Amino acid sequence: MFVLFLLCIVILVCMSKGEFFEHTQEPSTMCYKCKKYHLGICYEAMRSCTLKYKQTCAVENIYFLTKKGRSMYFYSKLSCKANCEDINFLSFEKRTELICCKHKSYCNLPEGV
């Protein structure tokens, strides 16, 4: 009797074509991907990437520094990054601001630059 019960379960699982597994997974988070994004325009083909394990959407805002030490926005890079952390990099000629997000799909568009 127990063998018959197990056989019925196996048949039901096989007939569902993996639909049960699809419902147990979280929906995929998508991000924009562009090497040079400026003022709402991607200067190459705008693509998208799907987040994998330990990845987040990322936007790298690139600024150049003026002689008076002020930051002037230049462009942004949009991508999926592994082990991403919000951080600012500062060198003599440029500043790079890295912003990470994964709260919703396509959250990596730069705002206010």
Residue 17 lies in a domain: no
Domain count, the chain: 1
User: Considering the domain boundaries, does residue 86 fall inside one?
Assistant: yes
Q: Give the range of the structural domain holding residue 58, as residue numbers without chain letter.
A: 28-101
The pLDDT tens digits of the residues spanning 24-49 come to 445 689 999 999 999 899 999 999 99
- List C-alpha distances in Å: 103 to 27, 81, 107: 12, 14, 7
- Phi and psi, residue 83, nearest 5°: 50, 45
Q: Is residue 95 part of a domain?
A: yes
Strands (E), the chain: 30-38, 41-42, 47-50, 55-65, 71-82, 87-90, 94-101
55 or 8: whose pLDDT is higher?
55
Q: Is the pLDDT of residue 52 over 50?
A: yes
